Amino acid sequence: MLIRLGYDIQFYVPTDVPFIALLNVHPSRQQDLCEPDQLFLEPAVPITCYIDSFGNRCARFLAPRGDIRLYSTTLIEDSGLPDAVNPSAREVPVQDLPEDTLRYLLGSRYCEVDLLMNTASQIFAGAPRGWERVQAVCEWVQNHVTFGYEYARSTRTAVEVFNERVGVCRDFQHLAVTLCRCLNIPARYATGYLGDIGVPFSPSPMDFSAWFEVYLEDRWWTFDARHNKPRIGRVLMAAGRDAADVAITTSFGMAYLQRFEVVTDEVPAPTEMSAAIF
């Protein structure tokens, strides 16, 4: 399967403002790209790229006063298979976890592990360990939190999601991540492209999506407390402790969003005749 990815984002900045952008496909999907994955700016200014401490590809630049446009398009090959599922995947005792997973057990900006520890223990005391316990977390979050774009608030934390019972996709994932960490299961927040492939079309404008990953057995697995079902065509851009680590753009000064468009479309496979002609 081929998927066309892209974005067109525009800000107005009243003065020169430094930016960091996490808009590239994650390095783990680099080998699947069929076209260059490059950030373009208008006006054109120098861009410096680097890999952050979480393994994400980042770009930094100085946006000059006025309008600044960030845009790109690329093509990626995907298996066309839904997210992998392994109900027999086991939890790993904390003392046996790889060192690089341990930070995903700790509290972070949006995930207050200490404040939900007792709550998580009470809710999931009887849940089977391993994959089924993570699935129980996803089901609890989906059943107790109401989704709505009108509930979006950039400062909402996991505890506030638990208390308010409303939110957008990032809120669902923050609460699920926190509950998993409370249960000693390493969990990290992820963001990327997720189009309406293999599911009913949604009339809502396309946006970047959030999900989360947990470490079970010997690898990271994808879970999604918002949709709570395996999906096709998920393309990772960045992963971290929570949304603060993987913001699509971070500006170090005032920046007013003027335009935001995202494209995630399956590209029809060419027929043998069209392939021969072109």
Query: What does the pLDDT read at residue 12?
Result: 98
Confidence of residue 271 (pLDDT cuts 50, 70, 90): low
Arithmetic mean of pLDDT, 86-114: 98
Is 60 exceeded by the pLDDT of residue 78? yes
Confidence of residue 278 (pLDDT cuts 50, 70, 90): very low
Residue ranges and CATH numbers for the domains of the chain are 2-79+248-266 (2.60.40.2250), 94-240 (3.10.620.30)
pTM flag (> 0.85) = yes
Confidence of residue 199 (pLDDT cuts 50, 70, 90): confident
Arithmetic mean of pLDDT, 167-193: 98
**CB-based burial, 94-117: b 16+ in 10 Å, e otherwise:** eeebeeebeebbebbebbbbeebb
Q: If we measure between CA atoms, which residue out of 37, 57, 38, 43 comes closest to residue 11?
A: 43
pLDDT, tens digit, 9 for 90 and up, residues 143-160: 999 999 999 999 999 999
Is 80 exceeded by the pLDDT of residue 104? yes
User: What's the one-letter identity of residue 28?
Assistant: S
Percent of the chain at pLDDT above 70?
A: 97
Cα–Cα distance, 267 to 277 (Å, whole number)? 18
**Matching residue, tokens 């994808």:** 222
Q: 221 with 180: CB under 8 angstroms?
A: no
Mean pLDDT of the chain: 95
Is 80 exceeded by the pLDDT of residue 22? yes
CA dihedral 237, 156, 183, 97 (to 10 degrees): 30
Name, in order, each residue with C-beta under 8 angstroms of 85's C-beta and a sequence gap of 6 or more: 230
Q: If we measure between CA atoms, which residue out of 154, 162, 160, 222 comes closest to residue 192?
A: 222
pLDDT, tens digit, 9 for 90 and up, residues 24-67: 999 999 999 999 999 999 999 999 999 999 999 999 999 999 99
Query: What does the pLDDT read at residue 206?
Result: 77
Cα–Cα distance, 8 to 49 (Å, whole number)? 19
Is 80 exceeded by the pLDDT of residue 276? no
For residue 149, CA distances in Å to 169, 176, 222 come to 9, 19, 23
Q: 149 with 204: CB under 8 angstroms?
A: yes
Is 50 exceeded by the pLDDT of residue 77? yes
Residues, the chain, total? 278
